[in-house]
Structure 1
């Protein structure tokens, strides 16, 4: 695994949950970091303070990544602050609401696709010149979901569809960018408690029922996912590309 000290990271939606835990772990590994957020600024401020306490560079920027111009502005600000981008973490995403097939209208369909896929397109396109210029190779990590593997629970049809698309996006992008020394991988978390996603959209009863089926006998934490992302980030000069690592306690096995 490569040394992350001094590596330049752009991470989206790192104000809470998996994104925040990942940013914190990468800072502790020695990375300089630019933290995108959509609304809540408290998390990024605390992460910046942590980085500064360790003598590292960190800054944050607010943007609606669905809008191409805002995504480009945010990424360019990050690249200018960091002096480039070695590692891109596409963490933005969400279910918005649980809706069954008969309840899905065009606006909801487009919104969920935009949040989970258009953001990834806009950020990755904007970051591409800087990733290509990374002197020791670069690493992209995309946040997928167990729902993209298994289809998810009822009411997550559109979300699960987009997360399945992220898996294909990852494989296709790995083939396309390999010649530039850019590795592209994904993680597919299962039940990860302590995130806004599950706080809003998963009931206590549903979580407890799922945990009964998890071979390791517990739900995951944001830190469980952050450890795997950090490994993939450090593979900027490695041979892992086009892969998806499942983080679900053994409930789904391939």
Structure 2
């Protein structure tokens, strides 16, 4: 595993849940970091204070990453603050709402695609020159989902479709960017409780039913995912690329 001390990280959507836990893990590993947020600065402020207490650089900023100009500005501010970008964590995403096939309208369809895919395009495209310039190779980690593997629960049709697209995006981008020493991988979390996603969109009854089928007998935590992302990030000069690591307690096995 590579040494992350001094590596320059841009992470999106790190105000809570998996993003916040991942940012914390990377800070504790020695990274300097720029934290993007959309819906609250309390978490980023806490993370920046942690980094400062450890003698590392940290800053945070708000942006609507579905907007190409806003996303480019966010990436530019991050690269300017950090002096480049070695590691990009594309964490932004969400289900928005549970809607069944007959309820999906064009506006909802576009919103979910924008939140889960357009954000990834905008940020990755803007960050590409900095990732290419990373002297020891660079690492991109994309957040997919078990829903992208299995199709998800009822009402998650559009979300599951976009997360399946993230899996293909990761494989295709790995093939395209390998020549520049940029590795691209994804993680596909299953039921991760304690996140805004499940707090809002998953009932206790649904969570309990899912847990009863998980071989390890528990739901996952944001820290479970963060450890895996930290590993993939640290392999910035390694040989893992185009892979997706499933983090689901064994409920879905490929």
| Structure 1 segments unaligned to the other structure (5+ residues) | none
Q: 1:77 — aligned with what?
A: 77
Give me the TM-score of the superposition, normalised by structure 1: 1.00
* In structure 1, distance between residues paired with 2:42 and 2:212: 35
Q: Secondary structure at the match of 1:236?
A: coil
Aligned length: 254
Q: 2:59 — aligned with what?
A: 59
**Aligned ranges for residues 172-251 of structure 1 at < 5 Å?**
172-251=172-251
The alpha-carbon deviation at position 53 of structure 1 amounts to 0.2
The alpha-carbon deviation at position 41 of structure 1 amounts to 0.3
**CA offset digits 1:18-73 (Å, max 9, x no partner):** 00000000000000000000020000000000000000000001000000000000
* In structure 2, distance between residues paired with 1:8 and 1:143: 19
**Aligned ranges for residues 77-156 of structure 1 at < 5 Å?**
77-156=77-156
Q: 1:159 — aligned with what?
A: 159
Q: 2:12 — aligned with what?
A: 12
The root-mean-square deviation of aligned C-alpha atoms, in Å, is: 0.2
Give me the TM-score of the superposition, normalised by structure 2: 1.00
* In structure 1, distance between residues paired with 2:204 and 2:248: 18
Instruction: Spell out structure 1 runs of 4+ moving beyond 3 A.
Output: none
| Structure 2 segments unaligned to the other structure (5+ residues) | none
**CA offset digits 1:96-122 (Å, max 9, x no partner):** 000000000000000000000000000
